[in-house]
Amino acid sequence: MRALLAVFLLIFTLPSLAANTATDPYVELYRAGGWPEQRAHFHDALKAAQQRYRNSLPPAIYQALVDNSNQRFAPAAMDQRALASLRQQLPNPQPALTFLQSPVGRKIIASEVQATRRAQLAQNAQGIPRSQAGATRRLLIGHLVQALPAKEAGAEVSLALAGVAADSLSQMIPGLLGGEQAQGLLNGQRQRLMGQIAGDLDNTLLYVYRDLSDFELEEYISFAESAAGQAYYQAALAALRAGLNAEPNTASAGQ
């Protein structure tokens, strides 16, 4: 169920800057998007990813894995990179903030946060139940699938969680993979993950937004397809990549 978590982690929250929300619309946007809760869910997933290697790696390598991934995903550093990217990529945060603070926006965020809780992920560990939605509902979800960069975001988070072991091995054995070879493998894996997520994305969104009415979904789609919505979600994807430091040059670009 890592993909379900990944779909909604489009950007990260700024808990350390919470006191500044009255004067900083970017921080306020993070909070309105439910990212404080999603940040906690991401770190739950990170701990689970670390634990999967406990019994399969020598103690020294396992400890390096934990130390390296904790450093890479340190909240303050992620906050800095993501916020810098969001400021650069989204000149006007107000339209997205207005939508997310509306009744429909709040209901959307509540549905997303609920879907990525640890208990929900465990409940659906063997797969999300197949939806019996009608043609109209499926058509609406299809529009949402096209409007959101969900598969791209999902692939980045999945790669980050799956890469904690590779990062540690590369540090302990320098030159294990050349730069071009490593980037080629990463790009290939990214494409495979996007394909896997896309294959079940309709059903995933049907499940997550099951409590929204068709009218509420239409409001969501109207925002997501608008120029302001597209600007927000593309900026959010860029902020996600910066926060995860998914690309080799991201760290310097976000500082």
Q: What is the pLDDT of residues 180-225, one digit of tens each?
A: 544 555 667 778 888 888 888 999 999 999 999 999 999 999 999 9
Mean pLDDT for back-to-back runs of 10 residues, the chain (255 residues): 50 48 80 81 86 85 87 84 90 96 96 86 80 93 94 86 67 50 61 85 93 97 97 92 64 36
Contacts of 213 (CB under 8 A, 6+ apart): none
Residue carrying the six token digits 């965020």: 109
Per-residue confidence (pLDDT) for residue 176, from 0 to 100: 46
pLDDT at 171: 56
Q: Does pTM top 0.75 for this prediction?
A: yes
d(CA 125, CA 157): 17
For the chain, how many residues are written?
A: 255
How far apart are alpha carbons 105 and 86 in whole angstroms? 20
User: In the prediction, which pLDDT does 124 show?
Assistant: 78
pLDDT of residue 103: 97
- Per-residue tokens: 204: 């995933």
Taking a C-beta distance cutoff of 8 angstroms, is the pair 87, 18 a contact? no
pLDDT at position 9: 53
